[in-house]
């Protein structure tokens, strides 16, 4: 049966942000209704929304619920995670606090390859249990969709196992999962000193196998000095696109040497990190539909430079925010905290941060037609907070947890 939710203190539809594809978001683009009402059918499709005082007579006979003191907005989307892994890297945090860099720690056997070692040893059922717990942690923060990467296996067998864990996790949660194949996360020990051979293996054996098994929606690679260069990444991206995979790329996290421009040229759905990106890359992103995915929690954790959010937004780029949940540089599932950091450290306005965590993040995983806005005729996927104004989410410094509504 249809249901009526009345007297919502603030209902944010993000209709204006959707129409602008997330560019230059302003508060007027949040589509704010005060003392709002929303009507949904039994399938959670939105039948009507507007001011409570304007509720049409035809809906008065349906069961209703008062939501005074609540703010509703599109459910956040988490567009960049590495949540399938085993082991922990808290000792590396101590090394980082003592002044060692991410790359220095990696040279000493830490970093990505330390997690690879632990993940390879883990049983599938243990990886699944850990993954589901982490997904539910996101869900408890109101998140309705989560992108999840492989990349801690770095053998074909273990990468398949990680992606199969994601597939099985989807059966155990109402959160929409988006699987990404990230074989080029680092060069595995078996290919040490043979980077090009590893790239050829990915292109000619791994990508076709993953595509045939239909285990991933996206392909991703870590474009960075000491990891994968532009030529290698372009070769892998072309192979992935030929196999029917869409593309996301880690770029310009520590060095700017053309990763963001490559993402634009290859029509990647998103270019992620961008901490060290160039002014030329900012302009290239602004002229494209590639979403700039920023991870300020990782910058906070590592003590490194924040990505140039203001430059990107002011230039007209589409921007998303993420926790970048991973064991080495951002072990948090709290998107409210990300909003606070984005506002205080990257000088984003609160409307910009909200759009980046909802519509922008949905666009970064190709789900903006289903998620990231509230529209009549579309299934309701929203979060609600016990506060009369949307600013409370970021103001609460991560302590205000949105309650999901409409995932089922």
Residue 4, SS3 per DSSP: strand
Q: Look at residue 111 and tell me whether its pLDDT is greater than 60.
A: yes
pLDDT of residue 407: 55
pTM of the predicted model as reported, rounded to 2 decimal places: 0.95
User: At 106, is the pLDDT very low, low, confident or very high (cuts 50, 70, 90)?
Assistant: confident
3-29 exposure pattern, b = at least 16 Cβ within 10 A, e = fewer: bbbbbbbbbbbbbbbbebebbbbeeeb
Q: Look at residue 404 and tell me whether its pLDDT is greater than 50.
A: yes
Residue 113, SS3 per DSSP: helix
Query: Does 77-363 match 3-75+372-405 at the fold level?
Result: no
Beta bridge partners of 80: none
- Condensed to tens digits (0 to 9), the pLDDT of residues 34-76 reads 999 999 999 999 999 999 999 999 999 999 999 999 999 999 9
Strands 176-184 and 71-74: unpaired
Domain limits, the chain: 3-75+372-405, 77-363
213-240 exposure pattern, b = at least 16 Cβ within 10 A, e = fewer: eebbbbbbbbbbeebbbeebbbbbbebb
Round to whole Å and give the CA distance between 238 and 339.
35
Q: Look at residue 373 and tell me whether its pLDDT is greater than 60.
A: yes
Q: Within a 10 A sphere around the Cβ of 34, how many other Cβ atoms?
A: 11
Joined together, the tokens standing for residue 53 give 């005082």
pLDDT of residue 148: 98
Nearest to 373 by CA among 91, 17, 10: 17
Chain centre distance of CA 250 = 12
- Condensed to tens digits (0 to 9), the pLDDT of residues 252-302 reads 999 998 999 999 999 999 999 999 999 999 999 999 999 999 999 999 998
pLDDT of residue 406: 63
User: At 113, is the pLDDT very low, low, confident or very high (cuts 50, 70, 90)?
Assistant: confident
Side-chain-facing half-sphere of 345: CA atoms under 13 Å = 21
State the chain's mean pLDDT as an integer: 95
User: What Rg, from alpha-carbon coordinates, does the chain have?
Assistant: 21
- Condensed to tens digits (0 to 9), the pLDDT of residues 120-166 reads 999 999 999 999 999 999 999 999 999 999 999 999 999 999 999 99
| 2 in Cβ contact with 41 (< 8 Å) | yes
Q: Give the CA dihedral 90, 94, 96, 102, nearest 10 degrees.
A: -30
pLDDT of residue 303: 87
pLDDT of residue 397: 87
Round to whole Å and give the CA distance between 46 and 340.
30
pLDDT of residue 112: 83
| 243 in Cβ contact with 209 (< 8 Å) | no
> What class, spelled out in words, does domain 3-75+372-405 have in CATH?
mainly beta
Q: Which residues of 231-388 form beta strands (DSSP E)?
A: 246-251, 270-273, 291-294, 319-321, 382-385
CATH superfamily of 77-363: Metal-dependent hydrolases (3.20.20.140)
- Residue 298 Cα distances to 16, 30, 327, 329, angstroms: 30, 27, 11, 5
């Amino acid at each position: 049966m249809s249901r009526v939710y009345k007297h919502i203190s603030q209902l944010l539809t993000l209709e204006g942000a959707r129409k602008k594809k997330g560019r230059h978001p302003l508060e007027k683009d949040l589509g704010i209704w005060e003392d709002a009402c929303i009507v949904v059918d039994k399938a959670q499709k939105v039948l009507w929304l507007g001011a409570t005082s304007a509720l049409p007579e035809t809906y008065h006979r349906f069961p209703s619920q008062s939501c005074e003191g609540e703010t509703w907005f599109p459910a956040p989307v988490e567009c960049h995670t590495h949540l399938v892994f085993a082991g922990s890297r808290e000792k590396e945090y101590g090394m980082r606090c003592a002044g060692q860099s991410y790359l220095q720690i990696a040279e000493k056997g830490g970093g990505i390859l330390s997690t690879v070692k632990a993940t390879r040893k883990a049983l599938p059922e243990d990886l699944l249990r850990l993954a589901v717990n982490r997904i539910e942690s996101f869900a408890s923060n109101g998140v309705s969709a989560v992108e999840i990467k492989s990349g801690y296996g770095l053998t074909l067998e273990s990468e398949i196992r990680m992606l199969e864990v994601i597939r099985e996790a989807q059966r155990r949660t109402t959160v929409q999962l988006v699987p990404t194949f990230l074989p080029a996360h680092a060069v595995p020990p078996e290919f040490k000193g043979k980077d090009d051979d590893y790239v050829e293996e990915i292109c000619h054996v791994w990508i076709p196998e993953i595509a045939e098994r239909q285990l991933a929606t996206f392909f991703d690679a870590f474009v960075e000095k000491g990891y994968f260069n532009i030529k290698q990444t372009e070769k892998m991206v072309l192979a992935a696109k030929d196999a029917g995979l869409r593309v996301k790329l880690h770029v310009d996290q520590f060095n700017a040497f053309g990763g963001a421009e490559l993402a634009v040229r290859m029509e990647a759905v998103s270019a992620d990190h961008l901490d060290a990106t160039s002014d030329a890359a900012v302009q290239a992103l602004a002229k494209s539909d590639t979403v700039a995915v920023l991870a300020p929690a990782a910058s906070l954790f590592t003590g490194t430079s924040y990505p140039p959010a203001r430059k990107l937004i002011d230039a007209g780029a589409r921007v998303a925010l993420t926790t970048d949940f991973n064991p080495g540089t951002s072990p948090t599932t709290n998107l409210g905290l990300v909003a606070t950091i984005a506002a205080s450290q990257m000088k984003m306005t609160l409307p910009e941060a909200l759009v980046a965590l909802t519509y922008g993040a949905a666009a970064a995983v190709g789900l903006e037609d289903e998620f990231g806005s509230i529209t009549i005729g579309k299934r309701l996927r929203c979060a609600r907070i016990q506060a009369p104004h949307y600013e409370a989410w970021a103001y609460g410094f991560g302590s205000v947890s949105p309650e999901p509504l409409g995932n089922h």
